[in-house]
Amino acid sequence: MNISQSYEIYNLSAGSRRNRNSKQKNLNSLLEPLKTNKKAMIPPGELLKGINFNSIHSFDTFTKIDDATRKINFVKSQESWDACLSEEFIEFQEARREYEENKTPQNYDHMQEEMGDIFFTAASIAKDAGVNPKEAFDTTLRKNANRLNLMEKMAKKNLSDCTDIERRALWNSAKRKLYDVQAFQYVV
């Protein structure tokens, strides 16, 4: 049995037909704003309650530093970017191993620094490709928040009470529903 079949069994076994139809109507009204506004947000449930998605980001500082490196022609080719990102992942993995072996503040700081290098390199690659890294990250935050919020609305019980299979099925179902709704933006 695959995950989508598991979800169908989970979906059909919980609640009466009337409750399912009512819940589907509510889900459709939650998804409606996403058809025309890519920045629309599904109202959060308990899981993401209190998170401010309009907070100030550190991408302003990144942009200034990245612009400075570009002024001195410290921009890489795509092949160099690929090698640089791979190197940063390897350095992070080494720092993480060191931290797991010896959880000192110094090892934690080193691991955090290496993760920051991955973020910086990825943001530089995005910028080099003409993608605004802040907007890309904001889009990913909205996408994942919408998936989690929709999962919570679709669930017949608290998400923490769901099995791993149920959570994965809800995630995949939310992902499909959101993709279908957002694809509508490009058709209209």
Measured between alpha carbons, how far is 27 from 40 in angstroms, rounded to an integer? 14
Measured between alpha carbons, how far is 72 from 92 in angstroms, rounded to an integer? 27
Q: Residue 62: which of 143, 9, 12, 136 has the closest Cα?
A: 136
Q: Residue 10: which of 155, 184, 147 has the closest Cα?
A: 155
DSSP state of 76: -
Q: Model-level pTM greater than 0.75?
A: no
> In the chain, where are the structural domains located?
3-53+149-187, 59-136
Measured between alpha carbons, how far is 78 from 12 in angstroms, rounded to an integer? 49
Q: How many distinct helices (H) and strands (E) make up the chain?
A: 7, 0
pLDDT attached to residue 75: 62
Residue range 159-175, pLDDT digits in tens: 889 999 999 999 999 99
pLDDT attached to residue 7: 41
Measured between alpha carbons, how far is 18 from 15 in angstroms, rounded to an integer? 8
pLDDT attached to residue 56: 57
Tokens of 24: 């589907």
| Coil, helix or strand at residue 89 | helix
Q: SS3 string of 127-138?
A: HHCCCCHHHHHH
pLDDT attached to residue 168: 93
Averages of pLDDT over each 10 residues, the chain, 188 residues: 43 50 73 78 74 65 76 70 90 97 94 92 89 90 90 88 93 91 70
pLDDT attached to residue 51: 66
Q: Is 11 exposed, middle or buried (0-12, 13-18, 19+ CB in 10 A)?
A: middle
User: What CATH architecture does domain 59-136 belong to?
Assistant: Orthogonal Bundle (1.10)
